[in-house]
Structure 1
């Protein structure tokens, strides 16, 4: 094989000969031309390899991210922090001892309304002391907000004290007056028509169906039996209804009204909840006395032990 320089020179001459249209051997000229391009490409490949070997490898790149700024760190923490669970809304019973003077009720209700409370019940009455009144308030709210409202009520001049009976042992009662219809629904329209005309209700000839009077008597008996089970009293009886009186806990009053609803409640009035703390037993409350008995059961009398 010819050296590269000689082959390249022959290839150059062969290329010139081809361009000039010389009569030299065409095969020889083409071979020299191919050798020229092959040697040139080999020379370029060797040169690129030498340059690649001489090139310095880059240093190791540190891909560790830059530390975030304080603002970015705080925003990231705030974004990933879950929302706080709101405090539960519970039922609170407040007992306020206030002066028996005009305007106290409006001031107390104004403070509670400013806090956004919906008063469930409010009972105010004078006590055995002539210049002292007792105000029982039942409302729903969070413990923190209720505590702030209590402090505002205590700062009022007419308010002597604010007592929270929410978690205490109390006796809670509510008075209910309910007027219930004794006329069955299927005979109500017929009973009203005869009452408007001033005629007496005639019994039907067929004994298979109940007359309005018999249906009214049966419904009155059922309502009276239901009142007896709840400890309610019948304070008024008329031809088409009865008035019942019940004094019980608010939950029991609600249950009584639900059972009376199918009979037809004409109207109902509730006094609101009244509360009073339970009296202690021998100077301590019942739950504290039971704890003391349990603690004493674990003690051992030293005089009953054997000597030594």
Structure 2
């Protein structure tokens, strides 16, 4: 009985090791850029594959490796930089159909055997499906946010805006508020969720609202034409000095921009992460990997047409 328990424990440890290793091959590595070249690193920025590729993707389970690019041609490598498919696809990442790799030779798409890597048939005329790696942007259907309509208002809302619901004023419906104007003069906004009218003052105008973590925030401006933000009780959240303030409700990030003092025609962007880490530039969420068994959120920003990555702890996975 004791021998059986020992053997079972050894088998369990072996299976755990194998499963962890397989998972780490798929999830633990991040495309890392140094200068113009790309490699792979882990979440602690330890280099796994030296930067030598023009581009490099996240792990793509559909092809069993990482899409890599050299001299305008794509191939597939594993986490040790060993070639799974040679660099033969002209300008397009290698995809799959069924059990075959699909390669573009510059004119046509051809299927290649996964086992032998030998070219087989030309594909006519259907292009291959999109690759399954999240690091390559894919176009999708554009989603437009709903905005308020008169039918959205309840009796209390109609009573609140009744003094402005006539020919003297114009009411414009936005996503979370109604903008009230008289001719070219803005009067203020009404926020149905708060059942409150925010009237402009000689110093401050209330121009729009944003929804973030269950609360409404009001965008403010003044004669500078820059923006600030207050909460529903008019407590300052951000002073009026920003060219833009975007509360990204889905990702719990905040993206701010300010005019560049050295060049007023350019903007300086900052992103505030949920961890309160501040990153220079516009960053958007890019999914998670595992760090010591726990989810580790990644973010990206576009540099020269490619996604560059940062971690939730503020680590930048690019240099130069």
Considering only CA atoms, is the larger Rg found in Structure 1 or Structure 2? Answer: 1
Which of 1 and 2 has higher RCO (CA within 8 Å, sep 6+)? 1
| TM-score by shorter chain over 0.5 | no
TM-score by length of 2: 0.25
Query: Normalised by the size of structure 1, how large is the TM-score?
Result: 0.26
Quick check: which one's helix share is greater? 1
Q: Which has the higher strand share?
A: 2
